[in-house]
């Protein structure tokens, strides 16, 4: 794939994107956050949110045992209720992919691996490609890569673009999620530019954060990225997914994100194929709220599993 | 636990999320609030206040006559002479702080009551009206003992009795804009709320009792236009403040001319919301929506004329339409409602008359699909494209959720079109270029110019119009002048 940016056309498009007004964007997000999701809508939202979770463990202390435990949880999140949906995917470091692949075989749950020297991305290009190829070879069908923020912030969009293209090639059939690390991009204008850059370069998903940098996902940033994928589809016909990651811990938060998906990108994105939550503790809160909705009472944290 | 019994919908349809109305206690009938208590009017036979979303009768309201206004003005005069006028500012402040706190504490109740009586969505009464109301009292409470430092000389004197007539679009907020500065400056008031929305003013009367405000400092005389005319033309009134239509404003100006009464008028508008090609388009679209559909467009400073630069007009229009499909019209008490009921049958027919004129003159209307409830007064959010300066819908105030869209090619043309109106209340400018904002703000003949936002209000910021949008300012240090003898 030759660099689109080399032609100058995409670069001109990136430079010509309309600005983002911070106050207005945050006001819109705050407005969407006041939507009140109750009863049937909440039941639908909780199940949909569970089915969109990329259940994640990305710790230096991860062990095969911990990963196996997470995979079992992913398959049957609520041990007391078989009607509870499965999560979308399990997300682990490349060294844990083989373990997870064994455990998830036949479940229909996707296996995502972070790659490209996650979370900083500060490694030579060959290493990033090798990291990706190793994860795919071990059984990952989704790759969460990080962009080269240093190159982006210094204006070398072509470097960022070419890296994404190279990793996409290394992915083969695996889906590519491109992490923008919006907390390091700092401005909403940068988030919009990076979103379009990643989409032009072939991202299947654009993802907010590694979860290792604060702030991680926020509602305004996610709203902006949802606007970007909707606009990108209008312009190119290709639909790209969105994954906020990090900091989304409660059902209430998850409902706000679903409302934002619904009203900004539209119902076409309300499926695990097009929207994911990168989260770990969120799942248990969703399960507790799900139990509460079914039984009318809170059973407490001892009735969901700690993995 | 076995099956999840809660029924699930096939897609993301927001279930009804109504705010409970159990919190409000509406009495079957209300008298007039004069000299600290509710009294029967001189003549029996009043009118009904209805819920515009359901047409259900809410309460019987007394119709004050000139005899009632006489009594109210006399009570206000006594309170001014004996209690409120001589009272040190620091003491007046305590009452105002107390009122502000009670409003904040009772804000949920007042928000629900306002939504029921006015038809506006609960999310607006809860998140906009009520916070602004209590903020307005808090802000002016702070001024009460600092008037020496307001820039009107040492110990500026109050005027006496203020006669105030307010509209139905922001009933309690307009009351706050009128009553708070009047009281802070040492005046007493006789206030006439709008005929269709008296309930929150009557609730405010109860709050005055709860705050133990001395009798006669605030008097509320309900009624229709005649009652208002009695208030403003009463010889015992020293100051007249009116918010409402330009036509009525003219009558008041005539009635008050030569009497020595101080007068402030906040009247109609036909604001231009100007979107330049270099604007942050998504946020500009939000601003357009907020500018015209906030409060069903029942806003004197509404951005009812969109002036969009030709080069981006198609894109803005497409985005605006898409955004409008997400607006939710319906039950004002539902927390997810964006567009509530039109306040009255009379207002609805005025909106219909003007939109029909838009149609007849050749402009093209568009509305998203939206279900209109069976009872009550409703009007779907509507935009007109192909509007020309000469069309009635580009010139007359519709005071409803109806936007007229015009285009321009150059900045000078935008300003010329924006200023080409007898009104001059507000305007909006959308551009990412700071120098253009400053330039446009200088050129626009409007009392308020919003840059990259719209319909933003703050107690510290003076609000008011130019040309036929009235005179005088409300809010901020400037707003104090209207209630001081300077």
Q: Is A260 on the interface with B (CB under 8 A)?
A: no
pLDDT at B7: 47
Q: Which residues of chain A does B452 touch, with a Cβ-Cβ cutoff of 8 Å? A: 21, 23-24
pLDDT at A3: 58
Residue numbers of A between 36 and 95 with CB closer than 8 Å to B: 36-45, 47-48, 80-81, 83-84
pLDDT at B8: 46
CB contact under 8 A, A19 and B278: yes
Spatial CA neighbour of B450 closest among B463, B441, B459: B441
Mean pLDDT score, A136-148: 98
In a domain, A8, yes or no: yes
pLDDT at A307: 83
Instruction: Tell me which of A54, A78, A141, A144 is the catalytic residue.
Output: A144
CB contact under 8 A, A40 and B15: yes
Residue A34 to chain B, least CA–CA distance (Å): 8
Q: Which residues of chain A does B278 touch, with a Cβ-Cβ cutoff of 8 Å? A: 18-19
In a domain, A302, yes or no: no
CB contact under 8 A, A19 and B7: no
Q: What is the CATH number of the domain that holds A287?
A: 3.20.20.70
**Closest Cβ opposite residue A24 in set B7, B9, B452:** B452
CB contact under 8 A, A21 and B280: yes
Residue boundaries of the structural domains of chain B: 29-267+467-483, 272-451
Superfamily of domain B272-451: Aldehyde Dehydrogenase; Chain A, domain 2 (3.40.309.10)
The share of chain A scoring above pLDDT 90, in percent, equals: 93
- Local structure of B76: helix, strand or coil: helix
The residue of chain B with its CA nearest to that of A294 is B4
Give average pLDDT by consecutive 10-residue segment, chain B, 486 residues: 42 94 97 98 95 98 98 98 98 98 98 98 98 98 98 96 98 98 98 98 98 98 98 98 97 96 97 98 98 98 98 98 97 98 98 98 96 96 97 97 98 98 98 98 98 97 97 97 96
What DSSP designation does A188 have?
Answer: H
Where are the strands (E) in A7-65, listed by range?
53-56
CB contact under 8 A, B326 and A263: yes
CB contact under 8 A, B9 and A44: yes
pLDDT at A298: 87
CB contact under 8 A, B127 and A34: yes
The residue of chain A with its CA nearest to that of B335 is A36
Q: Which residues of chain A does B8 touch, with a Cβ-Cβ cutoff of 8 Å? A: 40, 43-44, 47
Q: How far apart are CA B338 and CA B226, in angstroms?
A: 34
Name which of B15, B16, B123, B293 to mutate to probe chain A: the one with the most chain A Cβ atoms within 10 A of its Cβ: B15
Reply yes or no: is the peptide bond before residue A300 cis, omega within 30 of 0: no
Residue B437 to chain A, least CA–CA distance (Å): 14
Is A144 in the active site? yes
Given strand A110-114, what is the order of strands in its sheet? A241-243, A205-207, A175-179, A142-146, A110-114, A89-92, A53-56, A277-279
**Domain boundaries B29-267+467-483, corresponding CATH code:** 3.40.605.10
Q: Which residues of chain A does B5 touch, with a Cβ-Cβ cutoff of 8 Å? A: 294
In a domain, A34, yes or no: yes
Q: How far apart are CA B161 and CA B179, in angstroms?
A: 11
pLDDT at A198: 97
**Closest Cβ opposite residue A24 in set B8, B15, B280:** B280
Q: Is A263 on the interface with B (CB under 8 A)?
A: yes
Mean pLDDT score, A85-103: 98
Q: How far is CA B475 from CA B136, B436, B472, B480, in A?
A: 8, 27, 10, 7
Mean pLDDT score, A281-287: 97
Q: Domain range holding A232?
A: 4-296
Task: State the total domains in chain A.
Answer: 1
Spatial CA neighbour of A43 closest among B181, B422, B7, B235: B7
pLDDT tens digits for range A218-270:
999 999 999 999 999 999 999 999 999 999 999 999 999 999 999 999 999 99
More confident residue, A273 or A299: A273
In a domain, A70, yes or no: yes
Q: How far apart are CA B27 and CA B24, in angstroms?
A: 10
Instruction: Tell me which of B185, B208, B300, B301 is the catalytic residue.
Output: B300
pLDDT at B459: 97
Is B300 in the active site? yes
**Closest Cβ opposite residue B11 in set A25, A35, A267:** A267
Q: How far apart are CA B460 and CA B77, in angstroms?
A: 29
In a domain, A228, yes or no: yes
The residue of chain B with its CA nearest to that of A260 is B326
Residue B434 to chain A, least CA–CA distance (Å): 12
In a domain, A306, yes or no: no
ipTM: 0.95
């Amino acid at each position: 794939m030759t660099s689109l940016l080399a032609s100058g056309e995409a670069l001109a498009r990136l430079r010509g994107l309309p600005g983002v007004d911070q106050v207005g964007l945050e006001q819109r997000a705050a407005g969407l956050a006041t939507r009140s999701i109750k009863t049937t809508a909440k039941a639908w939202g909780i199940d949909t949110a569970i089915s969109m979770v990329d259940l994640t463990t990305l710790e230096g202390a991860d062990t095969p045992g911990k990963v196996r435990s997470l995979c079992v949880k992913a398959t049957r999140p609520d041990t007391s209720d078989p009607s509870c949906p499965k999560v979308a995917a399990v997300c682990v470091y490349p060294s844990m992919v083989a373990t997870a692949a064994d455990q998830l075989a036949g479940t229909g749950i996707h296996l995502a691996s972070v790659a490209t020297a996650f979370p900083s991305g500060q490694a030579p290009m060959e290493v990033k490609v090798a990291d990706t190829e190793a994860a795919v070879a071990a059984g990952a069908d989704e790759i969460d890569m990080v962009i080269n923020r240093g190159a982006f912030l210094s204006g070398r969009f072509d470097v960022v673009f070419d890296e994404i293209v190279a990793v996409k090639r290394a992915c083969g059939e695996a889906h590519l999620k491109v992490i923008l690390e919006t907390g390091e991009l700092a401005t909403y204008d940068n988030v919009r530019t990076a979103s379009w850059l990643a989409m032009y370069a072939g991202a299947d998903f654009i993802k907010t954060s590694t979860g290792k940098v604060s702030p991680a996902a926020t509602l305004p940033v996610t709203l902006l990225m949802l606007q970007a994928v909707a606009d990108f589809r209008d312009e190119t016909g290709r639909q790209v997914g969105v994954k906020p990651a990090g900091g989304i811990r409660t059902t209430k938060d998850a409902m706000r994100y679903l409302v934002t998906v619904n009203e900004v990108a539209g119902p076409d994105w309300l499926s695990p194929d097009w929207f994911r939550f990168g989260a770990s503790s969120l799942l248990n809160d969703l399960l507790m709220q799900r139990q509460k909705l079914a039984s009318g009472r809170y059973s407490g944290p001892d009735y969901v599993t700690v993995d | 636990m076995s099956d999840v019994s809660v029924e699930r919908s096939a897609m993301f349809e927001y279930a009804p999320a109504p705010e409970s109305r159990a919190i409000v206690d509406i009495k079957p009938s209300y008298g007039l609030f004069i000299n600290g208590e509710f009294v029967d009017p001189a003549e029996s036979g009043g009118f009904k206040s209805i819920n515009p979303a359901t047409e259900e009768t809410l309460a019987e309201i007394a119709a004050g006559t000139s005899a009632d206004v006489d009594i109210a003005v006399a009570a206000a005069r006594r309170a001014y002479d004996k209690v409120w006028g001589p009272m040190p500012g620091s003491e007046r402040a305590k009452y105002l702080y107390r009122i502000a706190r009670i409003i904040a504490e009772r804000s949920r109740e007042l928000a629900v009551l306002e939504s029921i009586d006015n038809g506006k969505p609960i999310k607006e009464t809860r998140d906009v009206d009520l916070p602004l109301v209590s903020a307005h009292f808090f802000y002016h409470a702070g001024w009460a003992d600092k008037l020496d430092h307001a820039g009107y000389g040492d110990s500026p004197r109050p005027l006496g009795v203020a006669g105030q007539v307010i509209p139905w679009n922001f009933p309690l907020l307009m009351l706050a804009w009128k009553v708070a500065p009047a009281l802070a400056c040492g005046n007493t008031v006789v206030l006439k709320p709008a005929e269709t929305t008296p309930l929150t003013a009557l609730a405010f009367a109860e709050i005055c009792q709860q705050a133990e405000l001395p009798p006669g400092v605030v008097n509320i005389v309900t009624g229709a236009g005649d009652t208002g005319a009695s208030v403003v033309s009463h010889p015992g009134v020293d100051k007249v403040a009116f918010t409402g239509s330009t036509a009525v404003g003219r009558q008041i100006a005539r009635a008050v001319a030569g009497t020595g009464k101080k007068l402030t008028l906040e009247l109609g508008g036909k604001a231009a919301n100007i979107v330049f090609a270099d604007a942050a388009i998504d946020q500009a679209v939000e601003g357009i929506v907020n500018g015209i559909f906030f409060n069903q467009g029942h806003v004197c400073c509404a951005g009812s004329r969109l002036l969009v630069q030709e080069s981006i007009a198609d894109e803005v229009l497409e985005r605006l339409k898409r955004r409008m499909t997400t607006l939710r019209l319906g039950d004002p008490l539902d927390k997810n409602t964006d567009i509530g009921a039109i306040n009255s049958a009379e207002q609805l027919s005025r909106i219909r008359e003007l939109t029909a004129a838009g149609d007849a003159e050749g402009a093209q209307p568009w509305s998203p699909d939206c279900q209109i409830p069976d009872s009550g007064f409703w009007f779907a959010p509507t935009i007109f494209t192909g509007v020309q300066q000469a069309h009635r819908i580009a010139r007359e105030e519709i005071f409803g959720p109806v936007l007229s869209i015009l285009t321009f090619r150059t900045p000078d043309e935008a300003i010329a079109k924006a200023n080409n109106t007898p009104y001059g209340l507000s305007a909006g400018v959308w551009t990412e270029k700071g120098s253009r904002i400053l330039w446009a703000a200088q050129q626009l003949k409007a009392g308020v110019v919003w840059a990259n936002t719209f319909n933003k209000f703050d107690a510290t910021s003076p609000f008011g119009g130019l040309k036929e949008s009235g005179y005088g300012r409300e809010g901020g240090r400037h707003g104090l002048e209207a209630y001081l003898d300077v």
